[in-house]
A and B are shown apart, each in its own frame.
Chain A
């Protein structure tokens, strides 16, 4: 097996052992369960799967999950770029604190984030009370879902763009200025194109994460069918009814979206590597 897989001999030992551990764990933890999901889908058959997915409730849940994730990730794309720029280029009081806090959504469990956001934005919460006079409701509406997804997706764009900004060559900006470009023109025509691959990667990662997010959303969403019921919640509901076929149908639809995202992320990285060497 060793000689079959290896492309060239390496003087280092341990290929069999490390490759074996990797493949065993990967198979048991990730590949077999995914295969079980696909297999279950095959036994149900495409016609029945389609019929199950094509109900109004599931369609609206899938659409909601995708739409909210898209809106939140677009917000994070813009805000993440500004945030990364400010953190790298400016020095101000509190910069390090903010830089460290960016990763809070990675470290804080999603259920904790969910109940905290709900406590803030519920009609009797601190922010909820402030917004009530303007007739703005956030908790238990779709806006609440956007907010939760903005929270959990926040670090992705910042953390992919930040290192690229750090390595920008200032001389190019100087050259652009010397040639008479206004600052805004330099930012838009010189700097932004350099950041595009990292921005897209961060955006795609945030989107992939938000589409499938469950923990932070269910508390603030209100979970009304056809209105604020996200697709992962519908899977949980079907499982609690022991309706495994319906759960599988929704799960496969979501898996398909995940695979598409993964493909997109890889395509972005290949494209950017061709375009700028390496990101």
Chain B
């Protein structure tokens, strides 16, 4: 399939022999097909096993619909909150010099290396009925664990670093000369932010929001622990997929999965478009 496996700026001394190139490309194509494309195709194939109408009608079941609504609601709350947090964190970290900055960046990255299940557990211990804080909330008739606020907190935890991580390198590179100029010319702080900073970071912000949204809609481990899996009430789409799958309702499970896979495909498409169009504005250190 790779008819023209020529290297960039072909030069026999700085590239591998032709045979080695073909073998490497062949390996990559085959492994990617098996590891990435096959599972993606499997999701849609399983969803459509009994035809389009079965797949679509399983998505309009009341439980599926409430799961879709809940997932959209969670994303609608968490993503804007994380965007505000990300902008605030990036502003504080890149525009000012303060003690403990490196440690703070490590803390922001912490959720990346904590297991989502451990995050859920930690939230249950903090807000559950046998903690002081949890007891106080229950006394004031507010449910956190096994309810929407818990799901929101768990999703915030796992998506926490996404926006900040994209913005920090970009804003670091841009420095603060432009903002200083705007302020010298008499602009207010907010006006400086909206007319100078925001246009500079908008693509990186969009990029972070995109990744944050994909993770927020798809989070499973942390939400599984804290949601209590109350059918129709605290079941997000991924939780509903697990329940349907365990009840051997394969078509229903894979139909919901296909809906989330579509979201993943749209995310990838937009992400690739952003990378191709605005590569220079997304900063070189961004890619991962």
Contacts and interface: CB of A to CB of B under 8 A. Distances in A.
B208 interface: no
Given A29-B153, A93-B1, A110 B42 contact: no
Given A33-B122, A214-B224, A248-B121, A116 B39 contact: yes
Nearest to B267: A107
A236 B224 contact: yes
Secondary structure class of chain B's binding surface, majority of residues? helix
Contacts of A93: 1-4
B125 A109 contact: no
Contacts of B69: none
A11 interface: yes
Contacts of A40: 125
Contacts of A258: 110, 113-115, 118
B284 interface: yes
A248 B264 CA distance: 33
B29 A98 contact: yes
Contact of B42 (A119, A173, A211): A119
Interface stretch (B53-61, B81-89, B135-143): B81-89
Contact of B257 (A115, A187, A214): A115
B242 A111 contact: yes
Interface in B80-108: 81, 84-85, 87-89, 91-93, 95-100, 104, 106-108
A98 B39 contact: no
A208 B96 CA distance: 30
Nearest to A22: B89
Secondary structure class of chain A's binding surface, majority of residues? helix
Given A108-B261, A112-B218, A12 B176 contact: yes
Interface residues of A, number: 110
Contact of B85 (A13, A21, A103): A21
Interface of A: 5-8, 10-15, 17-19, 21-22, 25-26, 28-37, 40, 79, 82-83, 85-94, 96, 98-113, 115-117, 119-120, 125-127, 150-151, 154-156, 159-160, 162-163, 167, 170, 173-174, 177-178, 183, 187, 202, 205, 208-209, 211-215, 219, 232-233, 235-236, 239, 244, 247-248, 251, 254-255, 258-259, 261-262, 265-266
Given A19-B96, A109-B237, 18 more contacts: A11-B180, A14-B95, A18-B88, A89-B8, A101-B32, A103-B268, A107-B218, A112-B218, A112-B260, A116-B40, A116-B42, A119-B254, A120-B42, A177-B14, A183-B17, A212-B221, A215-B238, A261-B113
